[in-house]
Structure 1
């Protein structure tokens, strides 16, 4: 009986989660990268000497893309990092073209 109560309490959360997946989750028109992240990613791609702040900005973008560097034993490394990098690259291409000319 205790297991049945646990399953019932999880059911609303699963329904909510699946509803988000069915509707596509996040809206496509929403931006994923902040203007600061766009600026810092542009600077990192220019082969200039990177700053700690630029690296932190890049890590924030990778975390938004689903990468979790805090896992001690990640059986999916480096594939999960590479997948996040590809997603951030896609976001950069679509959202950060205005930042390419900024210093």
Structure 2
């Protein structure tokens, strides 16, 4: 593969990952599993939604490298929680940023 092709592929991957991270949680997602404890059992659809959310912040379950498990999913969960805080509690996020700046 030549250098130009590698650069284009890298640029595309960067844009795709940035787009995935830029996607905001909807109000419905903010008030649903995995962000809100459930009163009943978790459904298959909810588990698939959680996996999609984890993948949107960089988790790759098919990477096949068990040496990184569970740190890779822990990192993705931390990123997902930060996304939740930013999207679902924007006033708290702004206040925290202002406090950190002072």
State if a TM-score over 0.5 links the two structures: yes
1:45 corresponding residue in structure 2: 36
Q: 2:60 aligns to what SS in structure 1?
A: coil
Question: Which ranges of structure 1 fall in alignment gaps of 5 or more residues?
Answer: 1-5, 99-103
Matched, 1:55 2:16: no
Structure 1 outlier segments of 4+, above 4 Å: 18-21
Q: 1:68 aligns to what SS in structure 2?
A: coil
Count of matched residue positions in the alignment of Structure 1 and Structure 2? 86
Normalised TM-score (structure 2): 0.60
> Do the aligned residues in 2 keep the contact of 1:36 with 1:57 (CA within 8 Å)?
no
1:88 corresponding residue in structure 2: 80
Q: Which has the larger radius of gyration?
A: 1
Q: What RMSD over aligned residues (CA atoms) do the two structures have, in Å?
A: 3.3
Per-residue CA shift, 1:11-68, capped at 9, x if unaligned? Answer: 12333326986x9x737x93343555434336x5324222222221111000111112
Cα drift, residue 84 of structure 1: 0.4
> Do the aligned residues in 2 keep the contact of 1:37 with 1:58 (CA within 8 Å)?
no
CA distance in structure 2 between the aligned counterparts of 1:60 and 1:19, rounded to whole angstroms: 20
> Do the aligned residues in 2 keep the contact of 1:33 with 1:61 (CA within 8 Å)?
no
